[in-house]
Amino acid sequence: MEAVVERGNMRLAYQRVVQNKGAPGVDGLPVAEFEDWLKVHWLSIRAALLEGRYIPQAVRAVDIPKAGGGTRTLGIPTVLDRLIQQALLQVLQPIFEPTFSESSYGFRPGRSAQQAVRTAQRYVREGLGWVVDIDLEKFFDRVNHDIVMSRLAREIEDARVLKLIRRFLEAGLMKEGLVRPRIEGTPQGGPLSPLLSNIVLTDLDRELERREHRFCRYADDCNAYVRTQAAAHRLMGALTGFLEGKLKLKVNAAKSACARVSERKFLGYALSRHREAKLKAAQASIKRLAQRVRETVRGNASRNLAATIEQLNPLLRGWMTYFRFTEIKGVLQDLDGWIRRKLRALLWRQCKRVYTRVRMLRRRGLDEVRAWRSATNGRGPWWNAGASHMNAAYPKSYFAAMGLVSLLDTQQRLQRVS
């Protein structure tokens, strides 16, 4: 605990909490006012931590929609509790990091989801064409507290630290003004939860290693790779028994599967049926991007094109940064073309009268006869956005000059840099 409350460790924890910003917890104290509050109260909080008297406040529950449907409950601790959890994390991470598996990639320094995906691709190229895709049902809500504490006690001797972590685990969950006690789970949202999830699931990693299987795990998302369908079904049965029996976790049978690798996705990516198992963005990932583009364009129906592109660019750049390892170029070309068509449809809608459409097309270089014929064709915005007159008036070069991010060009630039 002395290492946790040490001045340099707390200063670093404070910087990270402030950088992450985040919403207030149940006490309503915002990050912007935290510094002044802390100056007044820190000495008494420090003493409480060193004496084992500190009691965390309840966690504020917030339900957010999941990409695949349903909701996920996030737990938002108070800013003070986030600070203490971050300080604990900075001391505990170096202790537990050497105990983790090489096949674990989630929430670890120097590791990423893309590394996990590329490792999975390598296993498939080595001939492991079947995947055991394990989905844990509400993992963060169902982590067994006694199991967490027993794993922590293997490396931590300071009873004050163990008692404090137990109190964080058992802190109530406030929802709609009522606080519910917690007897299991570690809701996502606190700095300590990812580390605790890795500590618990290291037992799963060791079981797979004991069986000499190749696998990739990112937090509670675990894929193991085998050569045959029969081996996949045997492993699924063994892992289900291990997870539910030893770790008291529930395997979601509806979302877990034994399948050919081309039939499943992993961390947003998929693998092609090609014998080289090429990486691509999974169809669900493409659909989510398309939906966000629609919402952005729809929300800018009355704004000029430059403002719409300015809002779209961070979304496109961020998506491509994550999916930069995709090897199916045609998908990126199609997405680029579809996005430009959405923007052409936006321009067509904004010109509500025939005359304004004629003027728009004439200003972009079309002759008068073609401009009038196009403006009076009676077709809708989406049809016109894909027609030759709008492509001639607003080609790819026009959108490039406006600064629109091209997914394909961005990927090629990222690959050159890396």
Q: Which helix (H) or strand (E) covers residue 296, if one does?
A: helix 283-298
**Exposed/middle/buried for residue 301 (C-beta within 10 Å: 0-12, 13-18, 19+):** exposed
C-alpha distances out from residue 416 to 72, 276, 281, 313, 413, Å: 37, 22, 20, 20, 5
Please report the pLDDT score of residue 273 as a whole number.
Answer: 83
State the pLDDT at residue 418: 64
Q: Considering only CA atoms, which of 182, 27, 168, 147 is closest in space to residue 88? A: 168
Distance CA 43, CA 48 (A): 9
**pLDDT by position in tens, the chain (length 418):** 999 999 999 999 999 999 998 899 999 999 999 999 999 999 999 999 999 999 999 999 888 777 666 677 788 999 999 999 999 999 999 999 999 999 999 999 999 999 999 999 999 999 999 999 999 988 888 889 999 999 999 999 999 999 999 999 998 888 877 787 777 888 778 899 999 999 999 999 999 999 999 999 999 999 999 999 999 999 999 999 999 999 999 999 999 999 999 999 999 999 988 778 999 999 999 999 999 999 999 887 778 899 999 999 999 999 999 999 999 899 999 999 999 999 999 999 999 999 999 999 999 999 999 999 999 999 999 999 999 999 999 999 999 999 999 999 999 888 777 6
Q: Which residue has the tokens 């339900």?
A: 63
Q: How far apart are CA 260 and CA 242, in angstroms?
A: 23
Helix orientation angle between 159-170 and 34-50, rounded to the nearest 10 degrees: 130
At 141 the pLDDT is 82
Q: Which of 394, 312, 305 is nearest to 320 (CA)?
A: 312
